[in-house]
Amino acid sequence: MIRPVDGKVERRSVMNLKVEEKRAAPRVAVQFQAMVSGSVESEGTGMVLDLSQSGCRVESPLLMLPGLSLELRIAVPGLEWALMVDGADVQWADEDRAGLAFVRIRETERQRLNELVAARLAKGADTGDDAQGELIPFEFQGLEALLSKDPELAVSKGLAWFTQNRMEFCYRGGSLLNRAFPTCTPELAAALGELVKAGGNREADFALALLQNYLGSTSTDDVLKEIVSRFSHDVRIMGGVRTIINSPSMASVSGEFRLAEAWRVKKESLMRWLTDERQAVRTFAEEHMAELDRMIVVEQRRVEAERELRERNRHEDESGHDHGYRPKPF
């Protein structure tokens, strides 16, 4: 089945339409960068196009097949660390887009998700399927091949697009640059670092927006250190730095304590910051390593409490003590 979307034809599978018809939770149109893991191609980036309390729609070059269960880390402006979804099952897939249902999400993340969706709904966000239009505008198509060969040109163009429209940058210019540079290469990091070093708040904001494409990667550390050295007293900008640091890679960790372990790995990577010649960088590293220690302890306690609760419920079920609970028939 096909239908027109902003002047182009978009193919929609019958399963896709049936799933959308059954969706009950209200959705909000967003443009959030995300790290996606668990697909056939392990881990990569994506763009969340709409979001609800029960699922989302994602665009990604990764191969996302119906039936797969993915993990998501969604970078949301204003949140201290990325929104974590432990299990998002692929309900339908159509070329590079897929509909996901959230089947495993910890209670603290569920609360953050609910608050985010409620806040967006309160602002009157558009809940239509087609609110985003094309991820890459027609006039941008084909530029990634040119920009991928010239990081300085890519940074210059990216800054111009960011200045023109910050709200749309992440799913237009930012997405294009992500296609040109799937990873943050040393050359791209060097160009961004020089821009931050010579620029002001606008350049720092642009760098942080672009680095949302590379959550969990240590290749961005030099850029982040340059931002810290210049804007250590800017609460807003430093909040953006913390968001990126607190959104670690989950590809090399597993088990119930994987988030705590990922933060521990990130803390170890910050040890290298302690030898930086700039005092602001060393001070930030010391303070944030201590903050990561606190986050790790809280996360470990949360997992242990959930494990204890599961064990208690299991023993009660085995002993036949159900406290009078009976599931309601469907």
Q: Do 72 and 186 sit in the same domain of this protein?
A: no
Query: In the predicted model, is pLDDT for residue 4 greater than 60?
Result: no
DSSP 165: -
What token pair was written down for 222?
């030099």
**325 CB neighbour count, 10 Å cutoff:** 6
pTM to 2 decimal places: 0.65
In terms of pLDDT, which residue wins out, 292 or 40?
A: 292
Work out the pLDDT band at 17, boundaries 50, 70, 90.
very low
Q: Do 176 and 264 sit in the same domain of this protein?
A: yes
Q: Do 104 and 235 sit in the same domain of this protein?
A: no
- Residues of the chain with pLDDT > 90: what percent? 39
Q: Do 159 and 280 sit in the same domain of this protein?
A: yes
Phi, psi of 228, rounded to the nearest 5 degrees: -60, -40
Query: In the predicted model, is pLDDT for residue 37 greater than 90?
Result: no
Taking the C-alpha atoms of residue 159 and residue 173, their distance in angstroms, rounded to an integer, is 9
What token pair was written down for 234?
């800017």
The closest of 180, 247, 240 to 218, measured between CA atoms, is 247
Domain of residue 117 covers 2-122
CA atoms within 13 A on the CB side of 230: 20
CATH number, domain of 55, equals 2.40.10.220
Q: Do 144 and 116 sit in the same domain of this protein?
A: no
User: Rounded mean pLDDT of 277-288?
Assistant: 97
Query: Where do we find the tokens 């960068």?
Result: 33
Query: In the predicted model, is pLDDT for residue 324 greater than 90?
Result: no
Q: Do 89 and 203 sit in the same domain of this protein?
A: no
**Which string of DSSP letters, residue by residue, matches 222-287?**
HHHHHHHHHHTT-HHHHHHHHHHHTS---TT--STTHHHHHHHHHHHHHGGGGG-S-HHHHHHHHH
320: left (phi over 0), alpha (psi -120 to 50) or beta: left
- Inside any domain, residue 118: yes
Work out the pLDDT band at 102, boundaries 50, 70, 90.
very high
pLDDT in tens, 113-170: 998 888 888 776 443 433 443 444 444 556 788 899 999 999 999 999 999 888 778 7
Work out the pLDDT band at 42, boundaries 50, 70, 90.
low
User: Rounded mean pLDDT of 244-270?
Assistant: 84
pLDDT score for 307 = 84
pLDDT score for 12 = 42
pLDDT score for 185 = 94
Average pLDDT, the chain: 81
Q: Do 116 and 193 sit in the same domain of this protein?
A: no
What token pair was written down for 27?
């959705």
Beta strand pairing call for 2-5 and 8-11: antiparallel
pLDDT score for 129 = 39
Question: Mean pLDDT lowest for which of 3-12, 202-211, 299-308?
Answer: 3-12
- Residues of the chain with pLDDT > 70: what percent? 81
User: Rounded mean pLDDT of 179-198?
Assistant: 94
Residue 26 DSSP SS3:
coil
Q: Do 87 and 149 sit in the same domain of this protein?
A: no
| Count: domains in the chain | 2
